[in-house]
Every structure is written in C-alpha cells, then in structure tokens.
Amino acid sequence: MTQSRKHITLAMTGASGAGYAVALLQALRQHYQQVYLLISDAARVVLATELNWTVPENPAKAEQRLAELIPGTGELTVCSKMNWMSPVASGSAAPKQMIICPCSTGTLSAIANGASDNLLERAADVVLKERGQLIVMPRETPFSLIHLENMTRLAQAGATIMPLAPGFYQKPQSIDDLYQFMAARALDHLGIDNTLIERWGYRGKQD
C-alpha cells in the first residue's frame, strides 16, 4: 500500500491492552514512512505479561525485536524515555500526530497537568502546544472523577479521548478482531481510509 503520510508518534504505557498497540503499530507502519515509538517501563511489563514478548530497553535492540514481531514497510524508530534530543521532544521537528495506546491513567494525569517528566509526556505536550492531533486511548474501568476530569481537561486542550472500548456489531470472531476494531477507529480519526473492519450497515453487501 502506498504510504500517504510522513511520520507519526505512537506511545505505549502500562495500561492493560498491549494487543491494541500491536495492531495499531502494524497498521501505522503500512501508512506512514516513519513511526516513532515510545515504550514506558510499565508497558514492557504488560507486553511480557499479556503477549509473552520481551522488548529490550536498548532502543536499537528494541527496534530489531519489534521489526521482527510486527512487520511493516514504514521505518520504526524506538526512542529512549530520557532521550531529550529525539525529534519528538521539540515543536520544530516532532510529528503533528501522536497516539497513546494504551494510555494509563497515570500518563493521562501527567499530560493533563503538563508534567513532561519523560520523553513520552513531553512528546504529548509538544503535540498539544503545536496544535497537532493527539489521540489518547485509555484502558481502565471504572473511571474515577479524577480520571474523568483529566480527560475533560485534555479534550478541552484539543486531544481526542478514545477509550479502548471495541464495538461488537461486526460480530468479532477473535480477540484480534477487537484489536483491529480499535486500530480502524484510530486510523479513521487520522484521516486514513482503511478496510480493517466491516462498517456499520454494510455486512453482507457488495460494493
């Protein structure tokens, strides 16, 4: 598939739902020439727990490992959490689009309050201040008032809040189908046409 976009940032945090991030990363690598990937320490724990994947802390080794596990044509660049020289740290170089999937409520809080204590939080802050597109995909239940207030604050700042809550009208047959549903919804909001899922009202119909 012809890549229609230049670059994007994807961040993975320690919320449950590593499979969502994997499906999304694979899709993004098909549509972007460059994907910057930020992985928190807690996200590595979740990847090991949920998928039995061991992702090295060393960025170069992590890139090699993930490139083997998640095929795609777009270049994958893994950034260290404290690499302040990374392009995503500055408004002069950072991609205008960023997705955090899955997004923990701790990360949600940090971004909503402008903490920027690591590269992931700084990258999100940059996208907001540059009036770019930030999509936050939290995976938590139930939400406390604090969580909801932080989501409201981010929405008011221009972010899109997209909870990892897949639909079932497409009659999913596997967990992967649920992952694909959310990847498709994220691509929709990025303005990328995709056929990852069957659309509402089109089941069984021919073009």
- Distance from C-alpha of 162 to C-alpha of 63, rounded to nearest angstrom: 27
Please state the pTM of the whole predicted model: 0.93
Residue 173, number of CB atoms within 10 A of its CB: 8
Domain boundaries, the chain: 5-190
Strand, helix or coil at 117?
coil
Q: Would you identify the CATH topology of the domain 5-190? A: Rossmann fold (3.40.50)
Given a contact cutoff of 8 angstroms between Cβ atoms, the answer to whether 3 and 33 are in contact is yes
Per-residue pLDDT of the chain (207 residues; tens, 9 = 90+): 444 579 999 999 999 999 999 999 999 999 999 999 999 999 999 999 999 999 999 999 999 999 889 988 899 999 998 999 999 999 999 999 999 999 999 999 999 999 999 999 999 999 999 999 999 999 999 999 999 999 999 999 999 999 999 999 889 999 999 999 999 999 999 999 998 888 887 765 544
Residue corresponding to tokens 């770019």: 132
* Helix, strand, or coil (residue 60): helix
CA dist 61 and 110 (Å) reads: 28
